[in-house]
Structures are given as C-alpha cells and as structure tokens.
A and B are shown apart, each in its own frame.
Chain A
C-alpha cells in the first residue's frame, strides 16, 4: 500500500466533504431564478412604462457562475445580482433617467409583492429586500446595450478584445455626466465574463457532463446545462477560497474581493478533474496572473483590457498587502492540510483556516459517517503492515463495538 496515495485520498475526501458543507442546493439556485424571472415578468407586463423598451433580465455574479456559498454568519443573506437591460441608447436617455425608469418599476414591484422594505437606491443598482425566510436580496443593475461604443473605445485606446459582445453601459450616480444625454457611459460585460469563466473550465465541464447519466438524460448539450449543475473543480475551489477569505476577514473593507479571487483562480485552473489537485495547484499559481505595470499591480478584466480589478490597491495600499497576506495564509493552510500527523485532533486544528471551528467538527463527523458506511458495506480495508484503513488490505469484517458507554 502506498502511504502517499492513501494520504492524498484521505485529504481529497476531507476537501470534498468540506466543499459539500459550503455549497448551496440546486433548489436555492432555482429559487433565485424564480425571483428574477418574476421581476422580468413585471417589467414586461402590459401596464409597465418600460415594456416598449424590450426589458431583459439576466443573472450575474456568483449565482451566474455557480459559485455561491452559504452565508458565513447566522443572519447572512444571499446576494442575487441581476442585470436589467432596456433597448435604449445613450443618445435617447441619460444614466439618471434610465435609473429612474427602472427604479419606478422596481418600486411598483415591491409594493405588488407586499414587501415591507422599500427598494434601496445604490450608486449603480436598485436593491430589493425580500425580508422572508429565503434570506435573499437582489441587486438590480440598470443597463443599455453598449457593444458598438465599447468597441470604439477599445480601438481608440489601441487594444482589442474577443469578448466585446454583450457589453453593456451602466449607470453610476457619482459620475459627472450622470444626468447628461449623449455621453459615454461606464461599461461592464457580465455575460462576457461568464462566457470567459466557462471557457476556462470547458474541458472539465465536458468530462463531467459525459460521465453523468442524470445530466445526459436531461440535456442534449453541455451548453444547455445550468452552470450551477455542472460544479467543476474550478467552481468548487472558488467556493472554498471565498469561504477561507470570509473566515479570515469577515466584513472588513480591505478583504480580497471575490472578482479578484474568481478571476485569478480561473486563470490558474488547468482543468484538473480532482478537487484536491485543483485546490493545491490554484493556490500555488493564482498570483502569477497579477501583472506589474509601471509600479502598479494589474489584474486585468479578461473581457475588458482597460479595466483593472486591482485598481483600488493604488488608492488603498492596505488592500494589496492584505491580498498577499491572505495568499500566504492559504499556502500555509494547504501545507498543514497535506502534511498532518498526530491524528484527527491535529487535522481538526489544521482545518481551522478552511473551515472554522464548527464546520471543521461537522466535516470530521461526516467523514466518520462515511467510514462507518464503508465498513458496513464491507469496503473498508486494513493495510498489511500498518493497519491503515483505506482501500487496500484485509477487509474489516462485520462487527459491533461493545462495552461501556462513555460517561463522566
């Protein structure tokens, strides 16, 4: 029996169980989908003042990438990020007007649903608070199509991108031209980003699809499968990293932001099929995709060469320091996980960075349950020489532990 292989298998089981504890159910994704579809229907209803602009709603952010994690705090909520796009141009309407048009309909929606809280206006979004047991709130981002203008902008700056399709113009109430017509709007491309993210894991997604009887029975092409149902190791690692970050930073302003974590992880992912391999390799290599440009750090948006996800690092140098400190903590925690000796007590300590106290115990409990199931089925083996339990050696025969109850 190769000890190294058994060790790796055990670490892999632990990481797999840890991920399962962080993950949300498909039902939760479906619930989110129902919510933004309901908003879409409202925007397009016959009495809607924006019906004539062919309103479209689509999801973005972690619900759009399949990387949502359970909220870390007890009263934490799920953030659904949705784009609301109207078929208007920057000549027809100012950012302020668009924000108002959509805001009015959103406010009407909240009243129609009997929501206790009024929608909140943010710098770029309207936030709907659902105050029910679902613990959702939805950030709706008003936008207009912006492909042409974006392409022109890139040409002007002498750069190009393969991902200009689906570029949108968004509103920002701190911009000086916020109330003017015929000006350049801030640009974004969440659909493009999702497309890029998917392309980084396409081979892994294809393999998972091909091996899944359930998925192949329900869908003809892998492209038809909702992104949250595929769950590649990349998606799972992003979830684990976000949770590690949450444990370390809570709500602090200087925490590494999710778009940076997601983008760097997606760059580093090599389509590993095994979650432990993916975790180890991504943590090792993710910082390599941070560029140095004339003394400033650049994490370029893969679908917009003009956007730097690390631009705030110049304004707030602490954030750059914190990113690298978080990286070091990640490396150390991986090292601890992979080289534990001294039993499960030690493993529990070494899992703290990735899991926290309560979750760590829960993970080990579930691991114990899995081992018991294996033993009951007769698939647990005890290796010759060391007695190590795993997949080689003598089968552990059926037996019942007996003897005194553990008391005080």
Chain B
C-alpha cells in the first residue's frame, strides 16, 4: 500500500494496519481524509475522518455503518466482492472514491445514483433512493 498513495500515513502493528490518506473523487471535488483500519482476517473498516459530511435536507447519510463515525459500506459482506487476498489499494481505495462521488451527487439531488442494497430490504435500488 505504501507506494501507492502520496500524502498518506501508514502504520503497522503486529496484525493491525492503519492507513490515513487524502482522496478527491473528481477534479472539482475537495479532499477528504479517509482512514482504513485493517485487522488481519477481519474486514477492513473505512472511515471518513474529515470533513464532517453534510446531509441532504434532513436525511441521514446513505450507505454507512455508522453515521457519527462516518464508516462506509462499500461492498456486500461475505459476498466475495472483497476478501483478504485482495489488495486494498486496488479495491477499497477506488470504492471510496466512488462512494464520495455519489455522496457529492446525493448532496445536490437527494438521489443515491450509485446503486446498492440495504440490509433491511432485499430490494435492489437501481438509479435512485
């Protein structure tokens, strides 16, 4: 992971890795500081450290595990979309960019345009919420 991103902090303890870096999803976007927490044999946890994300009208953030901690849901758990053999830099980082892109568009339109699934319903959302 180290050589992949500039301006990032990389911290490795016995079986626990933390990476903090800046991502900007599009040329016009601001920078977001993200943290990836990876414990061996567990799923990576992804957080937006900065800024505190705004919301559309009075809704809550979509596709997060935790509103306050701003922990993102980027893939279906146990679906094989991510497993521990994959390289975080090549899978998770691009997914964060994508999440941020659709987040920014959600902020303007109120629609989540990135597709996805919610755990309560098995209804697949296509273009909008």
Give residues in A with beta carbon < 8 Å to B: 3, 6-7, 10, 340-348, 361, 364-365, 367-369, 371-372, 375-376, 380-382, 384-390, 393-408
Interchain CB contact under 8 A, A396 and B97: yes
Interchain CB contact under 8 A, A408 and B28: no
Distance to closest chain A CB from B6 (angstroms): 5
Map CB proximity to A onto B53-89 as digits: 1 under 8 Å, 0 otherwise. 0101011111111010000111111010110000001
25 A–B contact pairs at CB < 8 A?
A10-B28, A343-B29, A344-B26, A344-B28, A344-B107, A364-B109, A372-B102, A375-B114, A381-B94, A384-B5, A387-B24, A389-B25, A389-B26, A389-B94, A390-B26, A395-B94, A399-B91, A402-B73, A402-B74, A402-B116, A403-B119, A404-B64, A406-B129, A407-B59, A407-B60
Across-interface contacts of A365 in B (CB, < 8 A): 105, 109, 111, 113
Distance to closest chain A CB from B60 (angstroms): 6
Interchain CB contact under 8 A, A348 and B62: no
Contact of B81 among A340, A399, A403 (CB under 8 A): A399
User: How would you classify the secondary structure of chain B's contact residues: helix, strand, loop or mixed?
Assistant: loop
Distance to closest chain B CB from A131 (angstroms): 36
Distance to closest chain A CB from B43 (angstroms): 11
- A-contacting residues, B4-30, CB 8 Å: 4-6, 22-30
Interchain CB contact under 8 A, B90 and A394: yes
Question: Is B47 an interface residue, CB under 8 A from the partner?
Answer: no
Interchain CB contact under 8 A, B28 and A394: no
Across-interface contacts of B30 in A (CB, < 8 A): 341-343
Distance to closest chain A CB from B116 (angstroms): 3
Interface core residue of A365, A382, A403 (most chain B CB under 10 Å) = A403
Contact of A403 among B27, B64, B107 (CB under 8 A): B64
Interface core residue of A372, A401, A406 (most chain B CB under 10 Å) = A401
- A-contacting residues, B97-119, CB 8 Å: 97-99, 101-102, 104-109, 111-119
Interchain CB contact under 8 A, B77 and A10: no
Cα A403 to Cα B5 with chains together (Å): 27
Across-interface contacts of B109 in A (CB, < 8 A): 361, 364-365, 368
Measured CB to CB, the nearest residue on chain A to B96 is A387
Interchain CB contact under 8 A, A372 and B115: yes
Across-interface contacts of B24 in A (CB, < 8 A): 386-388
Across-interface contacts of A399 in B (CB, < 8 A): 74-76, 81-82, 91, 95
Cα A369 to Cα B56 with chains together (Å): 18
Across-interface contacts of B90 in A (CB, < 8 A): 394, 397
Contact of B97 among A348, A367, A387, A400 (CB under 8 A): A387
Cα A381 to Cα B89 with chains together (Å): 13
Distance to closest chain A CB from B29 (angstroms): 5
Measured CB to CB, the nearest residue on chain B to A2 is B27
Cα A407 to Cα B73 with chains together (Å): 16
Give residues in B with beta carbon < 8 Å to A: 4-6, 22-30, 54, 56, 58-65, 67, 72-77, 79, 81-82, 89-91, 93-99, 101-102, 104-109, 111-121, 127, 129
Interchain CB contact under 8 A, B28 and A405: no
Interchain CB contact under 8 A, A386 and B23: yes
Measured CB to CB, the nearest residue on chain A to B67 is A404
Across-interface contacts of A346 in B (CB, < 8 A): 28
Distance to closest chain B CB from A290 (angstroms): 34
Contact of A380 among B98, B113, B117, B118 (CB under 8 A): B98
Distance to closest chain B CB from A52 (angstroms): 60
Interface core residue of B6, B98, B105 (most chain A CB under 10 Å) = B105
Across-interface contacts of B72 in A (CB, < 8 A): 403
Cα A340 to Cα B75 with chains together (Å): 31
Interchain CB contact under 8 A, B101 and A371: yes
Across-interface contacts of A393 in B (CB, < 8 A): 94
Distance to closest chain A CB from B47 (angstroms): 13
Cα A369 to Cα B113 with chains together (Å): 6
Across-interface contacts of B23 in A (CB, < 8 A): 386-387
Distance to closest chain B CB from A370 (angstroms): 9
Contact of A7 among B25, B28, B64, B113 (CB under 8 A): B28
Cα A388 to Cα B72 with chains together (Å): 18
Distance to closest chain A CB from B94 (angstroms): 4
Interchain CB contact under 8 A, B113 and A371: yes
Interchain CB contact under 8 A, B111 and A368: yes
Measured CB to CB, the nearest residue on chain B to A386 is B24
